[in-house]
Structure 1
Amino acid sequence: MNDRALPLISERGAVVGGDVTPAPGSPNRLESPILPPGLTDEAIVGRWLKAKATGRGRLAATTLAQYRIEAERLFWYAHQVDVPISEWTLDEFSEYMEFLQAPEPWAIRRPGVRRGSPEWRPFLGPLSERSAGQTQKIVASLFEWLRDVGYLRANPATGLPTVGRREPEKQARFLSVDDCALLRDAIVSRPDTTREARLLKARDLFLVDLFALTGARTMEAMRGWMRHIRIERLPDALRQAHPEAPEFQWLLRIEHGKGNKARWIPCDEIALSLQAYRIAFGLPPVPAPDETRPLVLSVRRSKWGTWKGIKSRTTIWNVVTGLCGEASEYARQIGQVDDAKRLAHASTHWLRHTYAKGLAQAVSNGLDTRAALENMGHADARTFNQYVDDEPLKRALATSLARRAVL
């Protein structure tokens, strides 16, 4: 294997060391009409990472970090096999996919080896099928971009089946309506003899509703502002088409969702807990259109006397998992042992799945699937299908009865 210096991808997408210039006349290599001449493969990929980090559709920081990791793995492997990526064929790409799932011992980093050491490796072991599939998706998109900018004639990843691609299993990590009621009961049962306790009770009840009744992600809640909640009057045309509908609808704006995509979520169901939460903090019950307070408030004030927001995704996750642990203990005390076990494992994402399960039921009752996908922030219906109940017992009974009739 090749021992030359390995390329490292910086936070800004620049490549540090390890550049290899492709051999002249490589069958798949072209001179891009829109990139500077004479760039190495590593420098070109640095441009790709920079492009992914800029513009309206730029990747979120966590996603971009994964793209950098994949670029680093790709170049490390290319240096080991001594074939620049611009010379890769379908065979090299296929071999790379096989390597990811069963790397040789020399390719795995030993514990304690620091980044930048000659013995450093970008692998701690084989990738799972799911992780290898994600790697394939990112690297294939890189080769697609190289082709689009005129650097390659063809994408060497074209036509290969995606590693680990399968329909998502039915989602089991969610709370039932009764579980959520138990979670709220646990919060309500707290003593509230101090002002801080009353603030926490109101804030925590709102958090449960925010995740369970809007399906917001933890990062989306952290990035939310009070002004993102709007009350909109229904247009006359909609009122005429639906005379039974309320005059106003509450909406929650997600400005920076997954993939930096924005969306609106209906949020009538959180209106009461939101208003109680705001009143407890001494605020008007309805947010102002230009209000700059964070959506998730701390019970602490800044040195200027204004309420602080919780601006850490981990902190919000810890708060909600703590609430679920509190509810688990509450359930155990009142003799609901099975509920206690389930609540002990719940988190913000469990509550998001709870909302998705409710949407799946709404779809069966007539809600347009596209509306459900938009509410969840999903781009692919297959992702949403994991929330649609298969009802195996009902199907088993129907099968059994039908076969008895035949036999």
Structure 2
Amino acid sequence: MNNFEPMDFDRPGEVIVHTIDLFADEEAEPLVAARTDSELARAFLYSSELSENSIKSTKKDLGRFLLWCQHRSKMLLQVSIEDLIAYKAFLKDPQPIAMWVSPTKWPRNDDRWRPFSGPLSEPSVRQAFRVVKALLEFAKNAGYLQRNAGALVKNIKTVRDARVTRYLSTQAIDYVYAAIDGLSTTTPARIKGKARDRFLLISYITTGARLSELTEAKMGAMYTEGDGRWWLDVVGKGSKPRRLPVAPAMLTAFRDYRLAFGLLVHAQRDESTPLVLSTRGRALVSITDEAASNAMKSLFADAGALAETDGDLDSASSLRQASAHWLRHTMLTTHANNDVSLKALQDTAGHANISTTATYLHKSDKERHDEIIESLAGK
């Protein structure tokens, strides 16, 4: 049986105005009507216009922190600098494991549910602690807290590579296509899954879209304006819309995928069917981000096995480490080194800063390498 009390982070139906007895100074009346830390977290969550995915991930980070505080019998107003330092360490290694960790994702009301599936990676720790610092800053600015210990504790530093290295080579991608070709089609669900996964792979590799941008899109978002050019409308970070060029291979895979699900070849512009469908059941419902990610990881595992059988250990190693996001890196890296302008790639990728796009450009490194080696060879 778990000891975690459910926390209500749903959007409040109405605003309740009342006084708060946590503060001695009546002149400094809080700007928020929260009576509890959970209510404060809910107010923080909905004070910004976050996307559905951002709300989901922020809820998770807020819930973990408040459960940790609850376990230590701490309210937010009691959280100290030492507590926050301890929490950073806890995120890297949640202990005791039996209390906090379960590799299986159980429903929230199941006694086997746990807040973590394992230790968080460094980027995930950084993001989780960023949410905690933002919560405490909000609480201080709103008058819920008189002091903010988070302002005095720095987040962990992440060393950024000068260039992107997490992408797949042409050879590795060929193994992924071979893995798709080898998928079973013995049942209707497997036929659907094979067509969907091929479409999903080609969509990643040709558009560079983020996982959530594809899973949140609708089939009607793929369209042409009558000039032979096809587009896919997506909504990116910060709820910013952009449209992505659709390659002929992606369009073909899209049509085959629709036929596998019993749909007409062409989608109507106003069609609200989810772009990436689940193969479970007959209802046309969207696949979850986690399921889409796992589908790609399963393909990478199969492709890695093929590469290892062929003796291509470099491709096998890359494929074992790869995630769906590597396909976005692969697309951007390929085009950056094929002389596509950085501005065109920035707009396609949805990068706020062109310097981020420039990290995908490896051509200058290769040219520098060749010049040095040729010079050493006396050419």
TM-score normalised over the length of structure 1: 0.65
Tell whether the 8 Å contact from 1:30 to 1:151 is kept in structure 2 after alignment.
no
Aligned to 2:244: 265
Q: Distance in 2 between matches of 1:9 and 1:138?
A: 19
Match of 2:105 in 1: none
Q: 1:51-200 counterparts in 2 under 5 A?
A: 51-53=44-46, 56-57=49-50, 59-73=54-68, 79=74, 85-86=76-77, 92-93=80-81, 95-101=82-88, 109-113=95-99, 130=123, 133-151=126-144, 157-158=150-151, 161-168=154-161, 170-188=163-181
Q: Is the 8 A contact 1:254 1:265 kept in 2?
A: yes
Q: Secondary structure at the match of 1:278?
A: helix
Secondary structure of residue in 2 paired with 1:342: helix
Say if 1:291 and 1:176 are closer, same or farther in 2 by CA, change over 3 A.
Answer: same
Q: Counterpart amino acid of 1:328?
A: G
TM-score, normalising length from structure 2? 0.69
State the partner residue of 1:275. 255
Deviation of 1:64 after TM superposition, in Å, equals 1.7
Q: Distance in 2 between matches of 1:123 and 1:216?
A: 27
Structure-1 residue corresponding to 2:108: none
In the aligned structure 2, how far is the partner of 1:253 from the partner of 1:191? 32
Q: Tell me the SS of whatever aligns to 1:254.
A: strand
Q: Contact 1:60/1:259 (CA < 8 Å) preserved in 2?
A: no
Q: Aligned to 1:175, what secondary structure does the other structure show?
A: coil
CA deviations over 1:304-363 (Å, ceiling 9, x no partner): xxx74452333333332333333334445556454344334434222222123235436x
Deviations 1:169-199 (CA, angstroms, capped at 9, x unpaired):
6443321234323422443467879887765
Structure 2 residue corresponding to 1:35, chosen from 32, 35, 43: 32
Residue correspondence of structure 1 range 7-406 to structure 2 within 5 A: 10-12=7-9, 22=22, 24=24, 30-32=28-30, 34-36=31-33, 42-43=36-37, 46-53=39-46, 56-57=49-50, 59-73=54-68, 79=74, 85-86=76-77, 92-93=80-81, 95-101=82-88, 109-113=95-99, 130=123, 133-151=126-144, 157-158=150-151, 161-168=154-161, 170-188=163-181, 201-232=194-225, 247-255=227-235, 257=236, 262-269=241-248, 270-279=250-259, 281=261, 283-297=263-277, 302=282, 308-309=284-285, 311-332=287-308, 336-361=312-337, 365-368=340-343, 372-379=345-352, 384=357, 386-389=359-362, 394-395=367-368
State the shift of 1:403 in Å: 11
Q: Given that residues 277 and 284 in structure 2 are in contact (C-alpha distance below 8 angstroms), is that contact kept between their aligned partners in structure 1?
A: yes
**Partner AA of 1:389 in structure 2:** H
> What amino acid sits opposite 1:274 in the alignment?
F
Closer, same or farther: CA 184–339 of 1 in aligned 2, 3 Å: same
Q: Distance in 2 between matches of 1:343 and 1:123?
A: 25
Q: Distance in 2 between matches of 1:191 and 1:125?
A: 32
In structure 2, relative to structure 1, the CA distance for the partners of 1:69 and 1:381 (3 Å cut) is farther
- 1:217 is matched by which residue type in structure 2? R
Shift of 1:274: 1.8
Q: How many residues align?
A: 351
Structure 1 unaligned residues grouped into runs of 5+: 1-5, 15-19, 116-121, 234-246
Q: Could you tell me how far apart the structure 2 residues matched to 1:311 and 1:160 are?
A: 39
Kept in 2, the 8 Å contact 1:13–1:50? The answer is no
1:101–1:129 Cα contact (<8 Å) kept: no
Within 2, Cα distance between the matches of 1:165 and 1:114? 25
- Secondary structure of 1:387's counterpart equals coil
Give CA deviations for 1:138-192 in whole Å, capped at 9, x if unaligned.
2332233234435567755457654324324644332123432342244346787
Shift of 1:46: 2.1
Counterpart of 1:211, as a letter, is Y
In the aligned structure 1, how far is the partner of 2:259 from the partner of 2:154?
55
Provide the secondary structure at the position in 1 that maps to 2:220.
Answer: helix
1:209-238 C-alpha deviation (Å, 9 max, x unpaired): 0121123334443333211212235xxxxx
User: Separation in 1 of the partners of 2:208 and 2:304?
Assistant: 22
Instruction: Confirm or deny: 8 A CA contact 2:84 2:150 kept in the other structure.
Output: no
Per-residue CA distance 1:3-45 (angstroms, 9 max, x = gap): xxx996713279xxxxx9656359xx9322x334xx65x44x6
1:241 corresponds in structure 2 to: none
SS of corresponding position for 1:60: helix
Q: How far apart, CA to CA, are the structure 1 residues paired with 2:125 and 2:184?
A: 50
DSSP-derived class of the 1:69 partner: helix
